[in-house]
Structures are given as structure tokens and as C-alpha cells.
């Protein structure tokens, strides 16, 4: 599947309060979010699993999103 947009998620682990970054690649699709506003409104974030590398906590509080350059985007 082709990656059409990519984002870096900035999260804080709800358990150990460590800051985490997580890459999110959006694959081609009818409702693929192409920018941060689309991403926030989509169900993609809710469906993206988080696991803290330090404590294995699975609850991450989203504190920011950065859109990454995506060479694959047309
Ligand atoms: Zn943690």
C-alpha cells in the first residue's frame, strides 16, 4: 500500500509521564487524512495503538502532531 501522508505524533505516556514520539504513515484510501485537521477528524488516531517503550503503558495523551514531508504523495 502506498503511503500518501505521514505524521509524527507527540504523546505523553499517562503512566510514567515520559514524552514519546510515534510515526504514523497514512496509506492510500478513500478517507485517508491528508493533513492534521483531517487526521484529527478521522478515526485514525483512535485506531492507532500506543505502547510506551519505558513502562509498556498503553495510554498516551496526544499533545501535538507534526506533518512530515512525504515523497510518495503525488
Ligand atoms: Zn510510560
- Give the start-to-end residue ranges of the domains of the chain: 3-68
| Residue 71 banded pLDDT, cuts 50, 70, 90 | low
**Is-contact 50 60, C-beta < 8 A?**
yes
pLDDT at 1: 84
Say how many CA atoms lie within 13 Å of 20 toward its Cβ. Answer: 25
pLDDT at 43: 92
62 CA distance to ligand 1 centroid (A)? Answer: 13
Classify residue 48 by burial, with Cβ atoms within 10 Å: 0-12, 13-18, 19+: middle
71 CA distance to ligand 1 centroid (A)? Answer: 32
Higher pLDDT, 74 or 29: 29
pLDDT digit string, tens, across residues 7-62: 999 999 999 999 999 999 999 998 899 999 999 999 999 999 999 999 999 999 99
57 CA distance to ligand 1 centroid (A)? Answer: 5
17 Cβ contact list (under 8 Å, min separation 6): none
Amino acid at each position: 500500500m502506498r503511503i500518501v501522508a505521514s505524521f509524527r505524533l507527540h504523546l505523553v505516556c499517562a503512566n510514567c509521564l515520559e514524552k514519546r514520539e510515534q510515526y504514523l504513515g497514512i496509506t492510500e484510501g478513500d478517507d485517508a487524512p491528508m493533513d492534521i485537521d483531517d487526521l484529527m477528524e478521522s478515526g485514525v488516531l483512535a485506531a492507532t495503538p500506543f505502547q510506551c517503550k519505558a513502562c509498556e503503558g498503553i495510554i498516551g495523551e496526544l499533545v501535538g502532531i507534526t506533518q512530515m514531508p512525504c515523497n510518495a504523495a503525488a
